[in-house]
């Protein structure tokens, strides 16, 4: 009996320790998601400014000719997780990457964020050309975005808009605490960005103008559009990763609490049985002494 109580006591202590770790991980996930969400909101304002610049550029110049996508190099940029404890985050994204790659008859070149994502893609038969490290904090998103833009520049040379077709694949938040893969075509630019202002006119009392040469200005706007899009995708992926980890930690905490309650109930039952047996031993001993006592 004492040994059983000791086992239950050790089990309770172990579960309590595990619960403390899970609770800490839950709090850390909630805290870590906030800076990434702020970064995503901040870059969205910057991105809108860049898009306004593109519309102003097209409004003053002739509409830009759309490239032939079939002749461009197809590139898939996949944003994964390297930190674990977020379920099948990488596996679901890798399966979607395989589906997207199968749509390209000429083959696709894959850039991967995260070593674990690299393994998940390899399991799907996709071999990333480059594997980049995911950001360790919100400050690292700019570093990652710059690295990806550099990789795209090297592949596309001095004409990324015409030479490469880029698709971003990352996980975004969905309704009711769920998550889903997001496929975001990045290059070539959407037709609405290149032709709509020329058709509908510039919606302002001031006409757009610029002093730079058209080619370097368009290149600068395009590069900043790519940077902001990649930055936004990375930030959203990190927010979703932490949200997924938070949800799993909440489930784990609930499971540990239920197990603690179960073990606690067993401990209390065992302890009550032990107390009852000890009382019975005392009563039986007392009755035995009464029978042996001499009567006067």
Per-residue model confidence (pLDDT) at position 1: 45
| Vertex 227 angle, CA 233 and 70, to 5° | 85
Judge contact between 104 and 74, C-beta under 8 A: yes
Distance CA 38, CA 139 (A): 11
Per-residue model confidence (pLDDT) at position 159: 73
pLDDT by position in tens, the chain (length 296): 445 778 888 888 888 888 888 888 888 888 888 999 899 899 998 999 898 888 888 877 766 666 665 567 889 999 998 887 787 889 999 999 999 998 887 788 999 999 999 999 999 999 999 999 999 888 999 999 999 999 998 888 777 777 888 999 999 888 776 888 999 999 888 877 776 554 555 667 777 778 888 888 888 898 999 999 999 999 999 999 888 888 888 888 889 889 888 888 888 888 888 888 888 878 887 777 777 656 55
Residue 266 CB coordination number (10 Å): 16
Q: Residue 93 half-sphere exposure, CB side, CA atoms within 13 Å?
A: 32
Domain ranges of the chain: 2-23+252-292, 25-249
Q: Residue 58 half-sphere exposure, CB side, CA atoms within 13 Å?
A: 25
Closest CA to 192 of 59, 70, 76, 100: 59
Distance CA 159, CA 151 (A): 13
| Vertex 158 angle, CA 157 and 161, to 5° | 90
Per-residue model confidence (pLDDT) at position 198: 46
Per-residue model confidence (pLDDT) at position 283: 81
**137 pairs with which residues across the strands?**
none
In 3-state terms, the chain is what percent helix, strand and coil (to 5)?
65, 10, 20
Fold category of 25-249 in CATH: Pyruvate Kinase; Chain: A, domain 1 (3.40.1380)
Per-residue model confidence (pLDDT) at position 293: 59
Distance CA 61, CA 58 (A): 5
Per-residue model confidence (pLDDT) at position 195: 65
């Amino acid at each position: 009996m004492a040994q059983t109580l000791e086992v239950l006591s050790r089990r309770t202590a172990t579960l309590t320790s595990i619960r403390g770790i899970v609770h800490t991980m839950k709090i850390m996930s909630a805290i870590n998601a906030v800076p990434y969400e702020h970064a995503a909101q901040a870059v969205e304002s910057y991105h809108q400014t860049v898009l306004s610049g593109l519309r102003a550029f097209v409004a003053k110049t002739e509409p830009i000719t759309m490239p032939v996508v079939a002749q461009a190099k197809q590139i898939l940029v996949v944003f994964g997780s390297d930190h674990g404890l977020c379920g099948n985050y990488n596996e679901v994204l890798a399966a979607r990457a395989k589906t997207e790659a199968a749509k390209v008859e000429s083959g696709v070149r894959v850039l991967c964020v995260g070593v674990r994502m690299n393994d998940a893609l390899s399991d799907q038969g996709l071999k990333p050309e480059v594997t980049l490290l995911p950001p360790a904090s919100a400050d690292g998103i700019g570093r990652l975005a710059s690295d990806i833009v550099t990789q795209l520049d090297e592949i596309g040379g001095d004409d990324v808009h015409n030479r490469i077709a880029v698709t971003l694949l990352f996980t975004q938040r969905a309704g009711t605490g769920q998550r889903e893969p997001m496929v975001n075509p990045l290059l070539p630019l959407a037709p609405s960005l290149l032709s709509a202002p020329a058709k509908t006119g510039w919606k302002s009392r001031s006409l757009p103008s610029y002093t730079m040469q058209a080619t370097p200005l368009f290149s600068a706007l395009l590069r900043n559009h790519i940077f902001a899009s990649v930055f936004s995708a990375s930030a959203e992926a990190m927010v979703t990763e932490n949200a997924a980890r938070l949800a799993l930690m909440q489930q784990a905490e609930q499971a540990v609490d239920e197990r603690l309650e179960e073990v606690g109930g067993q401990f209390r039952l065992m302890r009550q049985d032990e107390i009852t047996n000890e009382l019975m031993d005392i009563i039986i001993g007392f009755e035995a002494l009464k029978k042996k006592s001499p009567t006067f």
